[in-house]
Amino acid sequence: MGKSACPLNRVETFIPVNIITHCTLFTPLITIITTHCAASWIGKNERLRCKGMLTHIHIKNFIVVESLSLDFDKGLTVLTGETGAGKSIIVDAVNLALGERADTAIIRKEADQCDISLCFDISNNSDAQAWLKAKDFADGFDCIVRRIIFPDGRSRSTINGHPCTQQLIREFAHFILQIHGQHQHQTLLKRERQQQWLDNFAHHHELLDKIRQDYFQWKNLQTELNQLNEQAKNRDHELSLLRYQFEELENANLQEGEWKTLSQQHQQLHNAQSLIEKLTQAITLTVQSDEISASRLLQQAIERVNEIKMEDSQLAAIKEMLNTAAIYLQEAGTELNHYCERLDLSAENLTLLETRLSLLHDLARKHHISPDDLIDMKKSLQKRIEKLENIEEQIQSLKQRQVEIQTNYEKTASELSASRKKAAKTLEKKITEKMQLLGMSNGQFMVRFEKAETEISPQGKEKVTFYVNTNPGQEFLPLQKIVSGGELSRISLALQVITAQKENTSALIFDEVDTGIGGKTAGIVGQLLRELGEKAQVLCITHLPQVAALGHHHLYVKKIIGKNSVSTAIEQLTQKERVEELARMLSGTKITQQTIAHAESLLCGDSV
Rg (CA), the chain: 42
Higher-confidence residue of 395 and 24: namely 395
Higher-confidence residue of 497 and 434: namely 434
Q: How confident is the model at residue 390 (pLDDT cuts 50, 70, 90)?
A: confident
Q: Is the pLDDT reported for residue 116 higher than 70?
A: yes
Q: Is the pLDDT reported for residue 347 higher than 60?
A: no
Percent of the chain with pLDDT over 90: 31
β pairing state of 162-164 and 155-159: antiparallel
Distance CA(46)–CA(73), nearest Å, equals 13
> What is 556-587 written as a DSSP string?
EEEEEE-SS-EEEEEEE--HHHHHHHHHHHHH
Q: Which of 39-53, 75-89, 279-293, 557-571 has the highest mean pLDDT?
A: 75-89
According to DSSP, residue 323 is labeled H
Q: How many residues does the chain have?
A: 608
Q: Is the pLDDT reported for residue 174 higher than 50?
A: yes
CATH 3.40.50.300 domain residues, the chain: 8-182+470-573
Q: Which of 3-7, 146-150, 532-536, 540-544 has the highest mean pLDDT?
A: 146-150
**pLDDT tens, residue by residue, 440-471:** 888 899 999 999 888 899 999 999 999 998 88
Higher-confidence residue of 329 and 180: namely 329
- C-alpha to C-alpha distances, 424 to 184, 202, 467, nearest whole angstrom: 21, 9, 12
> What is 348-376 written as a DSSP string?
HHHHHHHHHHHHHHHHHHHTTS-GGGHHH
**pLDDT tens, residue by residue, 193-233:** 899 889 988 999 899 999 999 999 999 999 999 988 888 77
Q: How confident is the model at residue 311 (pLDDT cuts 50, 70, 90)?
A: confident
**pLDDT tens, residue by residue, 55-104:** 999 999 888 777 888 899 889 999 998 877 778 888 889 999 998 888 89
Give residue 184's pLDDT.
60
Q: How confident is the model at residue 483 (pLDDT cuts 50, 70, 90)?
A: low
Q: Is the pLDDT reported for residue 26 higher than 60?
A: no
- C-alpha to C-alpha distances, 42 to 36, 305, 337, 577, nearest whole angstrom: 15, 108, 104, 21
- C-alpha to C-alpha distances, 520 to 120, 230, 299, 538, nearest whole angstrom: 35, 67, 122, 22
| Average confidence (pLDDT) over 290-317 | 78
> Which has the closest alpha carbon to 526: 505, 537, 504, 542?
542
| Average confidence (pLDDT) over 170-176 | 87
**CATH 3.40.50.300 is the classification of domain 8-182+470-573:** yes
Give residue 470's pLDDT.
83
Higher-confidence residue of 32 and 124: namely 124
Distance CA(291)–CA(119), nearest Å, equals 94
Sheet holding 444-451, edge to edge: 444-451, 462-469, 477-478
Q: Is the pLDDT reported for residue 385 higher than 60?
A: yes
How much is the mean pLDDT over the chain?
Answer: 81
Give residue 404's pLDDT.
95
